[in-house]
Amino acid sequence: MSLIPVEEALQRLLAMADQGVPLEQEEVPLDEADGRVLSSDLLVPLDLPPWPNSAMDGYALRHADWQGKPLPVSQRILAGQAPEPLLPGTCARIFTGAPLPDGADTVEMQENVELRDGHVYFVQPLGLGQHVRLQGQEVRAGEQVLAAGSRMGPVELGLAASLGYARLMVWRRVRVSLVSSGDELVEPGLPLAPGQIYNSNRRLLMAWLRRVGCEVRDAGIMPDDPQRTREILAAQVGSDLILSTGGVSVGEADFLGQVLREEGELELWKLAIKPGKPLTCGRFRGIPVLGLPGNPASTLVTFALLARPYLLRRMGVQDVAPRMIEVPAGFSWPKSGTRREYLRARLEDGQAIIHPNQSSGVLRSAAWADGLVEIREGRTLVEGEPVRFVALSELLG
């Protein structure tokens, strides 16, 4: 069987996500909408600003009343106050964000005036409309400011609040059953027997899934037994995805692929990626199953580049590709490979430096790194040549 290229695997996963049963909509308070995905367009219910206001602390006046002569101050307007109409031939003391009084069309900042005997002296020429934010200057009522499928973050939540939204319509969270596979796994805090290791992938993925915005169902550790594998998979009724780690290679105790072949559908297996080649994808009794390799670095890379985009698309996000930048390589890569490689790296002095230990079983290198460098199939590198780099902050958000 030939290995599946990374781009093809991703496109097939995204197609699976698009074909999934649509998630239900739900209304949530604004304070609970961080990381959620809008299920409908966010429209502007009112002009913003809702009325002309001052962009400066200063004095508001009718430009036609300014003839190089001083004007008396007829009122003082603070932000949040409703002003009186401006008396002809006067100006108003005004503060940033305060509404312009009817009749005023210009503001002069306080630094450019002199105040004597209750009159304001304008020391330089005034431009009509200067320092005035017009009604609807930012957005007009009825405009779309965020499209359905937008993921809400601090800026988007602030925008929604500025428009008066207290609640938002979003897609419900994707329900993910998280399974770890392997008799060798032990949860942290318990004693290790000979041949056993602590289960790091569970903590890695549980935190990451929650950051993505999923509802996580902990399905525990799946032993190396085909019947128990079937039983645990069958118990995940109501989940949108079963995400497992381990048990996807070709060893005699790797049963996930076998069970999917026998009682479900196997749609993806063996990718042209390093680390992460044994990734497996299919369905068990209609529920999508994504089996990530058990080695921690392989888990990290395949979740970041394949599982995370799948989940985001399932949530309704359209632009799911992580943003990559080109940087000079601070290393050489003399031997080309047949698989797409992702190396744990960090940026130093504008160059990508790779960790000396790229073993798929090591997480320490990922903790050292601040991103991944992509090495394309068949490519060699000389130090200084450009490589693509994706920040872990981009992938973990």
Same domain, residue pair 274 and 384 = no
**Can you give the pLDDT at residue 252?**
52
**Can you give the pLDDT at residue 155?**
97
Same domain, residue pair 111 and 177 = no
pTM of the entire predicted model: 0.85
Output b/e per residue, 187-196; b: 16+ Cβ within 10 A.
eeeeeeeeee
Does any domain span residue 319? no
Sign of the CA dihedral running 345, 349, 351, 353: negative
Q: Tell me the CATH number at 40.
A: 3.90.105.10
**Can you give the pLDDT at residue 1?**
61
Same domain, residue pair 17 and 40 = no
In Å, the largest CA–CA distance within the chain is 95
How far is the C-alpha of 334 from the C-alpha of 329, rounded, in Å? 12
Does any domain span residue 320? no
**Does the bond joining 275 to the residue before it have cis omega, within 30 degrees of 0?**
yes
**Can you give the pLDDT at residue 249?**
62
* Torsion angle (degrees, nearest 10) of CA 379, 381, 386, 391: 80
**Can you give the pLDDT at residue 261?**
81
Same domain, residue pair 221 and 285 = yes
Count of CA atoms in the C-beta half-sphere (13 A) of 53: 20
Give the end of a domain, one of 314, 339, 354: 314
Domain with 59, as residue range(s), is 53-133
How far is the C-alpha of 345 from the C-alpha of 350, rounded, in Å? 12
Does any domain span residue 266? yes
Same domain, residue pair 210 and 310 = yes
Could you give the number of structural domains in the chain? 4
- What are 101-114's pLDDT values in tens digits? 999 999 999 999 99
Q: Tell me the CATH number at 124.
A: 2.170.190.11
SS3 163: coil
Does any domain span residue 179? yes
Q: Render each residue's pLDDT in the chain as its tens digit; 397 residues.
A: 689 999 999 999 999 999 988 999 999 999 999 999 999 999 999 998 999 999 999 999 999 999 878 999 999 999 999 999 999 999 999 999 999 999 999 999 999 999 998 899 999 999 999 999 999 998 899 999 999 999 999 999 999 998 999 999 999 999 999 999 888 888 889 999 999 988 899 999 999 999 999 999 999 988 888 899 899 999 999 999 999 998 776 555 467 878 888 887 888 888 999 999 988 899 999 999 999 998 999 999 999 999 999 999 999 998 998 999 999 999 999 999 999 999 999 999 999 999 999 988 778 999 999 999 999 999 999 999 999 999 999 998 7
**Can you give the pLDDT at residue 226?**
86
How far is the C-alpha of 58 from the C-alpha of 325, rounded, in Å? 45
Same domain, residue pair 182 and 247 = yes
**Can you give the pLDDT at residue 251?**
52
- What are 350-373's pLDDT values in tens digits? 999 999 999 887 789 999 999 999
Same domain, residue pair 226 and 105 = no
Q: Are 340 and 4 a contacting pair, CB within 8 Å?
A: no
Does any domain span residue 1? no
**Can you give the pLDDT at residue 169?**
97
**Can you give the pLDDT at residue 266?**
83
